[in-house]
Amino acid sequence: MNFIDNPGKLHSFEKRGFEKNIKVEKVSRRSILKGLGITGGFVLAAPVMSRQALAYETGAGKMPHGVVVDPRVFVSVGPDGIVTIVGHRSEMGTGVRTSLPLIVAEEMEADWSRVKVQQAHGDEVKFGNQDTDGSRSTRHYLIPMRQIGASARTMLEQAAAKRWGVPATEVKAVNHEVVHSASGRKLGFGELAADAAKESVPSIEGLKLKDPKNFRYLGKGQVGIVDLHDITTGKAHYGADVRLPGMKYAVIARPPVTGGKLVSFDPDAALKVPGVEKVLKVQGWPWPSKFQPLGGVAVIARNTGAAIKGRDALKLVWDDGPNGKYDSVAYRKELEEASRKPGLVLRKEGDADAALKGADKVIVGEYYVPHLAHVSMETPVAVADVKGDKAEIWAPVQSPGGTREDVAKTLGIPEGNVTVNVTLLGGGFGRKSKCDFALEAALLSKELGAPVKVQWTREDDIHNGFLHTVSVERIEAGLDKSGKVVAWRHRSVAPSIASTFAAGTVHQAPFEIGMGLVDMPFEIANISCENPEAAAFTRIGWFRSVSNIPRAFAVQSMVGEIAQATGRDQKETLLALIGSPRIVKPEVKDLWNYGEPQESYPIDTARLRKAVELVAEKGEWGRKVPKGHGLGIAVHRSFVSYIATIVEVAVDDKGKLTVPRVDTAIDCGTYVNPERIASQIEGAAIMGLSLAKYGEITFKDGKVQQKNFDDFQVVRMDESPVVTNVYIVPPGPDTPPSGVGEPGVPPFAPALINAIFAATGKRIRSLPIGKQLEA
Amino acid sequence: MIKVKINGQEQSWDGDPDLPLLWFLRDEAGLTGTKYGCGQALCGACTVIVDKQAVRACITSVNDVAGREVTTIEGLHPTGDHPVQKAWRQVNVPQCGFCQAGQIMQAAALLMDNPKPSHDQIRESMSGNICRCGCYQRIENAVHLASTGV
Ligand code: FES
Ligand code: FES
């Protein structure tokens, strides 16, 4: 059966979406565009799934274009028995290109060794939402992928039953064949393919999903990623590796200050560089420029090396524009001052002001996290081939659907004329949710009338990115005589991602304040969460785990400070603050819950406690460590998962820091591939250590002062944790799946900082650590 | 005209002799397994082996390798079964995979030089290769596995 090549009968799932327009909420990284009125406020959304079939609901249906549950879109079976399953999300290292097809294979009883994965191009009407961000692929697609697999299996079973003239209830698909046990007859999937394609697609309501106890693959972690062999042999195909006949290579000189403009340029010296063919102006968009290109001057050459050399030879004059005075030292002072005054109150319980005044002791922590750059190993890169009113793109994008929309809009052609081919991504971390680099390639290809690859250099990546915000988080905790925390005031001051879309934005968006500020889970009588104003002077974007980084750093460092002030154990202090097992329901307008319904994904302190207790047990909290070593602990709920980390640090007498051991417990609900969960958490520890130790982008005169891995350092192998142990909390039978890609990052830095205090008695409140331990 | 042997095949180049080997490999010779990560010998993504030594192709010109033998990830082993490659698969090292060609070439060169590296020697000689995804623990385990026999 070839479902994919059988588009004749449009299945009802897609059609149902047309009948039921659902207003987009500000739930997705793309829908922020819609939420801010840049495009229309309505999208098609398919209902996620029927209530009967499911124990829980997710926010999947509210994503742009919702979910498509149709085996003919996702599965085909060849006469040779090869099952092809479409992976419609972008692979950037999480393993999603393996995990989602594996779910389909599990349910359809396909043998994984006879499955091929085919990457979907960007087409959300066909495949449903494709935004690979927000740690939600498994969360949104576990059940839809199971339903797709179960439909395909049912169609194969029906075809076999007809062939044998027996009731469908008597046959059963088992490991790539359908068997009739009464007669001992068997037919392979390949032999049934043609007939199965003629079967009608069963209704979701009637589908029987497998009993999880019969799972062969899900939850087992024994399947390697589909790209493993290609990666180890150099055959894996990333955006950077696309080559087309007649393709030109381009690098672009962009304005050194965000919002700046080209005044003039002299191409002569560049044109003399061997291999350089042309120098072209690139259109830029005014600040705030959303995902549109910044503009500049492109050097077109026969290879990338020549293009880079040509660009170095360009003479350029820029007007730095409105952000030309941005200075991160001065701005930090502004943020700190703002944090010391009242701000917009977002959550208020009891009377924090009075309780702080009446407290026996008030502990104040002002925590700083600077701008960060993603520096995914593969810099932004894209190939475009624009011919007339048609465009084809090859790019490592996290949002192929969004890329398609934006390319169409930028070129002024219908969306249906744009094909977006999704390559592997050499890392994404949120940077590749923005398709500016693909738009640059499209504009240049249109102008040249030839295919073009736009390659960003590492310097471009660091100078012209969409940085993680910069923030001051100020927490005041009031303690009574017994040491109990009776008041909590948290002010968060940081420019918002929304500033990249709407001029004049000074407050953080619900999706940012919902990341560890207003959803703070501690059992405290008097709480005030505030957001003083902060403007943006550069492009701010999503960075793996987003605002959870500064929030977890502040909140969990404060827990350490409270333990320190009361002379109590960190873990006991943490558990006391979390308080009784309960569902936390903060009274907050537009409470953001990662786009998920509260009913399926409440803030559950029992699960938070469990993560702490598990990591404490397995990670041997309280164990004796050598002199100069210290243990620190932190827990954080993000992307509706619960993660606790213990870091052991060693600081020598010169202040040099090493990390002998990391232990992390993650409760991500029902899970698919524990082996990939472990790899995500191992990686998150290293990203957490990188940002804690080194991560800082600074500005002077509006320009980023760092340029490459020498001055924007990341952790290397010789300083990486010697061992990271990962423990997965076993899920209950109906626990919905939750995020994995991002939530490992936030608890790392505060656990490290608490460990450093235990080792040295020094309390670090400003990241990165840099030379602070050397003093 | 510069002549250079790449993965056993003679190649020639009559363009800019200063062209970094990285871009010659990727854009002119079509060997895209070798990656760009920094262009400044800071990340190791472009690591290839020249006459048994790991070198950074981004700061090595085509002229520098004239008359020499260059091995890229594509040429490390005909079926991709070099002990390092096998170990990488056994340990499930990669996440995004983009740094891995450079890591594998660096590890292969290390083992040519030192067939039984210690924990510290592995960590030190691999520390010029950045993995932003953070696969270091597994890289170390895989190098160790490759050195003890896969
Ligand atoms: S690209 Fe050569 S070392 Fe980074
Ligand atoms: S696997 Fe992604 S950079 Fe190493």
Question: CA-CA distance, A97 to A119, in Å (whole number)?
Answer: 8
pLDDT tens-digit map of A478-508: 999 999 999 999 999 999 999 999 999 999 9
Question: CA-CA distance, A659 to A241, in Å (whole number)?
Answer: 36
Which residue type sits at A147? Q
**Across the interface, do B40 and A724 touch by the CB < 8 Å criterion?**
no
Chain A nearest-CA distance from B101, in A, is 6
What pLDDT was estimated at residue A62?
93
What pLDDT was estimated at residue A1?
45
CA of A428 to the centre of ligand 2 (A): 10
Model confidence at A581, pLDDT cuts 50, 70, 90, reads: very high
What pLDDT was estimated at residue A183?
97
In chain A, residues with a C-beta closer than 8 Å to the C-beta of B31 are 234
pLDDT tens-digit map of A105-140: 999 999 999 999 999 999 999 999 999 999 999 999
- Whether the predicted pLDDT of A28 surpasses 70: no
- Whether the predicted pLDDT of B112 surpasses 90: yes
What pLDDT was estimated at residue A24?
27
**Across the interface, do B96 and A426 touch by the CB < 8 Å criterion?**
yes
pTM (predicted TM-score): 0.94
pLDDT tens-digit map of A202-257: 999 899 999 999 999 999 999 999 999 999 999 999 999 999 999 999 999 999 99
pLDDT tens-digit map of A300-309: 999 999 999 9
Q: What is the C-alpha radius of gyration for chain A, rounded to an integer number of angstroms?
A: 27
DSSP code of residue A62: G
Chain A nearest-CA distance from B56, in A, is 15
What pLDDT was estimated at residue B58?
98
pLDDT tens-digit map of A618-665: 999 999 999 999 999 999 999 999 999 999 999 999 999 999 999 999
Quick one: average pLDDT of A396-416? 98
- Whether the predicted pLDDT of A8 surpasses 90: no
- Whether the predicted pLDDT of A20 surpasses 80: no
- Whether the predicted pLDDT of A36 surpasses 90: no
If one residue of B35, B89, B100, B136 were mutated to test the ligand 2 pocket, choosing by the most ligand atoms within 8 A of its CB, it would be B100
Model confidence at A667, pLDDT cuts 50, 70, 90, reads: very high
Question: Are A499 and A535 a contacting pair, CB within 8 Å?
Answer: yes
pLDDT tens-digit map of A566-579: 999 999 999 999 99
Model confidence at B60, pLDDT cuts 50, 70, 90, reads: very high
pLDDT tens-digit map of A675-691: 999 999 999 999 999 99
Question: CA-CA distance, B94 to A232, in Å (whole number)?
Answer: 8
pLDDT tens-digit map of A143-195: 999 999 999 999 999 999 999 999 999 999 999 999 999 999 999 999 999 99
Mean of the per-residue pLDDT values of chain A: 93
Question: CA-CA distance, A528 to A488, in Å (whole number)?
Answer: 6
| CA neighbours closer than 13 Å in the CB half-sphere of residue A432 | 31
Quick one: average pLDDT of A327-353? 98
pLDDT tens-digit map of A441-484: 999 999 999 999 999 999 999 999 999 999 999 999 999 999 99
Question: Are B78 and A234 a contacting pair, CB within 8 Å?
Answer: no
Query: What is the biggest distance separating any 2 CA atoms in chain A, rounded to whole angstroms?
Result: 83
What pLDDT was estimated at residue B149?
83
Percentage of chain B surpassing pLDDT 90?
A: 99
Helices marked H in A567-673: 570-578, 605-618
Q: Which helix (H) or strand (E) segment is B39 a member of? A: none
pLDDT tens-digit map of A718-744: 999 999 999 999 998 889 999 999 999
In the stretch 257-316 of chain A, residues with CB closer than 8 A to chain B read: 273-275, 302-306, 308-309
Model confidence at A30, pLDDT cuts 50, 70, 90, reads: low
In the stretch 356-375 of chain A, residues with CB closer than 8 A to chain B read: 375
Percentage of chain A surpassing pLDDT 90?
A: 92
CA of A54 to the centre of ligand 2 (A): 36
What pLDDT was estimated at residue B150?
78
What pLDDT was estimated at residue A126?
96
Cα–Cα distances in Å, from A234 out to A29, A158, A421?
Answer: 32, 43, 20
| CA neighbours closer than 13 Å in the CB half-sphere of residue A637 | 25
Helices marked H in A369-521: 400-411, 436-448, 458-463, 510-513
- Whether the predicted pLDDT of A13 surpasses 50: no
CA of B106 to the centre of ligand 1 (A): 12
- Determine the residue among A97, A231, A300 to mutate to test chain B binding: the one whose Cβ has the most chain B Cβ atoms within 10 Å: A231
- Whether the predicted pLDDT of A2 surpasses 80: no
CB pairs under 8 A between A and B: 199
Nearest residue in B to A305, CA atom = B23
Burial category of A28 from C-beta neighbours within 10 Å (exposed 0-12, middle 13-18, buried 19 and up): buried
For residue A345, give the 3-state DSSP assignment.
Answer: strand
- Whether the predicted pLDDT of A49 surpasses 50: no
